[in-house]
């Protein structure tokens, strides 16, 4: 341990480029106790609601720290396990102390995205960006109505800490404003009730396994299938876990078709090392990290029936015939892997979406036929003129900033390729075939040769 810290001392001397220097900083190149980066770290570890607290990014613990005085002598070493310990460490530094961090470390944004930083310079940039972009409206994006709708639904929620661990595997049923906590064997582990007001979830009457979790928890982040709750320095995550029923097939098919999927724990078979892509027409592809197709089973197809994925024309020495889904959310599928009627092993399929995952033709049509216009820009957000396109009825009506028709034409879609025709005025150079290469909630990226344009939904 001392050798590692001593090496950190030499790092301070010989690797000056590893230390931060914000564009507007006069603090030097080390993280000094009085530096702006040290202040950012303290603000990030401050309790939400305090002055200057940065609430939309969190450190993921544990983190190993050490400090030096101006003579580069080690004055303190510590492993911090939470925000309180991190804040106290920095508060206890002398004015001339210098901090060293054992990189890499991980930070988590309000939306659950994780960022790995490998140097003081990267840390400074990430924290400064979080401070600049932190919008209080992002911290609690759900209304009470949204939260109630989710919790009162048919699915249970797995409870974990921020790092995905918990002292026991527990699933909570919030229906009827009650709390029924089940363990991994589906046995009741605790019971209570809950209420919600102004984004604060009040948990009451727990007396057994979850007795320490009674109290008020602020909903600080909300996603399609998860919530983050915070009470003081504690943060817990509730992730939706839906039981498979006869009505689940269509929902599961839609979820599976969205992205690639990978095993959380790679299996001993070759297929456990590959990502799985379930295609809408029943085809399936097994691809590696670089997108290369696993060629042995290029003729394999799949079908979902009764909550089980069945593979056809598969090499069963490599791919088990049936994957029975025991529970699922939008990001995970818990599967029992069978060969014929024999349970081989259990695993979890984790969704692995690339940035800007491509949409199906149905998704693209649904968006373009909706009631909204789309602003057209280049990749950098600029365009030669501010134009908005109405794609309804397979026509193109382009409007300028004054809502005056600037061009007209038509469009069609096949296999992810948009064809623009009959444009003759402002957009005549945009006739032709554009491949939809990325699809977001409210935007599309289209590519034609070297050109890329972005269509961003603008609803009146």
User: In this predicted structure, what is the pLDDT of residue 358?
Assistant: 52
pLDDT at 27: 34
pLDDT one-digit tens code per residue, 69-95: 667 777 778 888 877 778 777 777 777
Strand residues in 224-321 grouped as ranges (E): 226-231, 234-243, 260-263, 275-278, 284-287, 301-305, 308-312
Count CA within 13 A, CB hemisphere, residue 59: 27
Lowest mean pLDDT among 97-106, 118-127, 270-279: 270-279
Q: What pLDDT digit, counting tens, does each position of 91-119 carry?
A: 777 777 788 888 899 888 766 677 889 88
Q: Which pLDDT value is given to residue 352?
A: 74
- The pLDDT of residue 49 is above 60: no
pTM: 0.40
Range with the lowest mean pLDDT among 157-171, 315-329, 370-384, 444-458? 315-329
pLDDT value for 311: 77
The answer on pLDDT for 278 being more than 80 is no
For residue 244, give the nearest of 348, 333, 148, 340 by alpha carbon: 333
Q: Is the distance from CB of 280 to CB of 361 less than 8 angstroms?
A: no
Task: Please write the tens of the pLDDT for every residue from 186-217.
Answer: 889 999 999 998 889 999 999 999 999 999 99
Mean pLDDT across the chain, nearest whole number? Answer: 77
Q: How far apart are CA 151 and CA 157, in angstroms?
A: 8
What is the pLDDT averaged over residues 134-147? 63
How large is the angle between the packed helices 83-91 and 36-44, nearest 10 degrees? 150
Q: Which of the listed ranges 130-139, 331-340, 391-400 does the model predict with the highest average pLDDT?
A: 391-400
Q: What is the pLDDT of residue 298?
A: 58
Tokens 């401070």 found at: 131
* Residue 376: both structure tokens together: 């057209």
- At 17, is the pLDDT very low, low, confident or very high (cuts 50, 70, 90)? very low
Report whether pLDDT(268) > 50.
no
> Cα–Cα distance between 73 and 405 in angstroms, integer?
71
DSSP per residue over 96-148, as a string?
T-EEEE-S-EEEEETTS-EEEE-SHHHHHHHHHHHHHH--HHHHS---HHHHH
Does 28 have pLDDT greater than 50? no
Residue 443 has pLDDT above 80, yes or no: yes
Q: Which helix (H) or strand (E) is 343 found in, with range?
A: strand 342-352
The string of pLDDT tens digits covering residues 294-345 is 554 556 778 887 677 877 776 666 666 678 887 777 777 888 877 777 777 7
């Amino acid at each position: 341990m001392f050798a590692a810290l001593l090496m950190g001392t030499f790092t301070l001397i010989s690797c000056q480029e590893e230390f931060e220097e914000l564009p507007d900083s006069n603090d030097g190149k080390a993280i000094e106790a009085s530096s702006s980066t040290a202040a950012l770290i303290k603000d990030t570890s401050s309790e939400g609601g305090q002055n200057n607290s940065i609430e939309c990014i969190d450190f993921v613990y544990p983190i190993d720290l050490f400090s030096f005085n101006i003579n580069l002598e080690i004055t303190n070493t510590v492993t911090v396990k939470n925000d309180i310990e991190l804040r106290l460490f920095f508060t206890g530094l002398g004015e001339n102390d210098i901090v060293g961090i054992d990189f890499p470390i991980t930070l988590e944004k309000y939306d659950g995205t994780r960022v790995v930083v490998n140097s003081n310079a990267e840390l400074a940039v990430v924290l400064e960006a979080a401070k600049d972009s932190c919008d209080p409206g992002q911290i609690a994006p759900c209304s009470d109505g949204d939260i109630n709708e989710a919790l009162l639904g048919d699915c249970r929620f797995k409870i974990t800490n921020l790092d995905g661990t918990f002292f026991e595997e527990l699933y909570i049923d919030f229906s009827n404003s009650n709390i029924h906590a089940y363990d991994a064997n589906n046995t009741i582990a605790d019971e209570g009730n809950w209420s919600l007001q102004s984004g604060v979830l009040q948990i009451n009457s727990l007396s057994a396994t979850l007795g320490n979790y009674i109290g008020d928890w602020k909903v600080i982040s909300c996603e399609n299938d998860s919530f983050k709750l915070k009470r003081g320095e504690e943060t817990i995550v509730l992730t939706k876990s839906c039981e498979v029923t006869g009505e689940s097939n269509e929902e599961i098919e839609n979820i599976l078709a969205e992205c690639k999927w990978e095993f959380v724990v790679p299996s001993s078979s070759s297929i456990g090392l590959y990502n799985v892509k379930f295609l809408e027409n029943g085809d399936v592809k097994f691809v590696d990290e670089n997108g290369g197709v696993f060629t042995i089973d290029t003729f394999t197809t799949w079908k979902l029936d009764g909550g089980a994925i069945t593979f056809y024309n598969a090499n069963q020495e490599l791919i088990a015939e049936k994957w029975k889904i025991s529970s699922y959310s939008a990001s995970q599928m818990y599967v029992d892997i069978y060969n014929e009627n024999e349970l081989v092993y259990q695993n979890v399929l984790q969704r692995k979406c690339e940035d800007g995952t491509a949409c199906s033709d149905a998704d693209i049509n649904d968006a373009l036929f909706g009631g909204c216009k789309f602003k057209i820009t280049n990749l950098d957000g600029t365009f030669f003129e501010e134009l908005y396109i109405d794609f309804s009825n397979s026509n193109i009506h382009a409007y300028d900033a004054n809502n005056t028709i600037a061009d007209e034409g038509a469009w069609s879609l096949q296999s992810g390729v948009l064809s623009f025709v009959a444009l003759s005025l402002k957009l005549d150079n945009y006739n032709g075939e554009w491949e939809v290469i990325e699809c977001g909630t409210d935007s599309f990226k289209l590519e034609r040769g070297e050109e890329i344009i972005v269509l961003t939904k603008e609803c009146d």
